[in-house]
Amino acid sequence: MSRTLPNIIITGTPGTGKTSHCELLAERTGLKHISVNDVVKDRECHEGWDDEYQSWIVDEDKLLDAIEEEVKQGGCIIDWHACDLFPKSWIDLVVVLRVDTATLYDRLTARKYPEVKLQENIDSEIMEVLLQEAKESYNEEIVVELQSVNADEMESNVERIEQWFEQWKKNNAP
Ligand SMILES: Nc1ncnc2c1ncn2[C@@H]1O[C@H](COP(=O)(O)OP(=O)(O)OP(=O)(O)O)[C@@H](O)[C@H]1O
């Protein structure tokens, strides 16, 4: 693989802090934040709108086609609540953000999530669905689970990823 910059996935149940982490990390490293939500919407990688869930029904093939060229060049942070669709060869680090149930409940309630979506996401966090998906889809040594309950944790998570990024660049210098 000839990337000179790595690709990172930041994943986790909705509300765990993916976007907040990605924005801070992008600002500090210059890596490009790819918000899959925005790609799905702006480049119409979907099969319509799901009223019950209040979200787009994602067309994964279209989504992969839309980001492939950019991601293959390296230097991207992918922000999405799923990770198993991205080819293993694209990805160098998978960060799975985690929060406790009470915190997640408060964050999703503040966003006025529909009841069915709220409950499903809380169940998903309790069952560690995203963590399992990440471990099953990538080599376990590139999967990192990080807590994201407060600002201090976010700060130390971002610092840790920055350190990993610097080391990756040294290890992969031409
Ligand atoms: N570590 C943290 N400490 C305090 N607040 C946080 C933290 N992470 C996220 N939040 C807050 O939680 C809310 C959800 O965060 P964010 O939008 O980053 O989550 P997300 O995982 O990207 O959600 P979605 O998948 O729905 O886009 C925001 O109000 C954000 O400010």
15 is in an annotated binding site: yes
Q: Where are the domains of the chain?
A: 8-169
Average pLDDT over residues 110-123: 93
Give the mean pLDDT of 50-73.
Answer: 95
Band the pLDDT of 53: cuts 50, 70, 90.
confident
**Residue the block writes with tokens 């999530």:** 113
pLDDT at residue 54 in the model: 85
Look up residue 29 and give its two tokens: 């490293």
Say if ligand 1 is within 6 A of residue 98 CB: no
Confidence of residue 85 (pLDDT cuts 50, 70, 90): very high
**pLDDT value for 52:** 85
What 3-state class would DSSP assign to 83? coil
Q: In this predicted structure, which of 25-29, 108-112, 159-163 has the lowest mean pLDDT?
A: 108-112
C-alpha R_g of the chain:
16
- Evaluate: CB of 154 within 6 angstroms of ligand 1: yes
Quote the pLDDT of residue 1.
55
Ligand 1, atom 31: nearest CA belongs to which residue?
20
pLDDT of residue 123: 98
Judge if the beta carbon of residue 24 lies within 6 A of ligand 1: no
Please tell me whether 20 is known to bind a ligand.
yes
Residue 151, pLDDT above cutoff 90? yes
pLDDT at 79: 98
Distance CA 31, CA 138 (A): 21
Which residues is 98 bridged to in the sheet? Answer: 147
The protein residue whose alpha carbon is closest to atom 8 in ligand 1 is 17
> How large is the average pLDDT for residues 102-115?
94
Determine how β-strand 8-11 pairs with β-strand 93-98: parallel
Average pLDDT score over the chain: 96
Q: Residue 37: is its pLDDT beyond 80?
A: yes
Rounded CA-CA distance 174/166 in Å is 14
pLDDT in tens, 88-99: 999 999 999 999
Question: Mean per-residue pLDDT for 158-173?
Answer: 96
pLDDT more than 90, % of the chain: 91
Confidence of residue 67 (pLDDT cuts 50, 70, 90): very high
Residue 131 above 80 pLDDT?
yes
Quick one: fold of 8-169?
A: Rossmann fold (3.40.50)
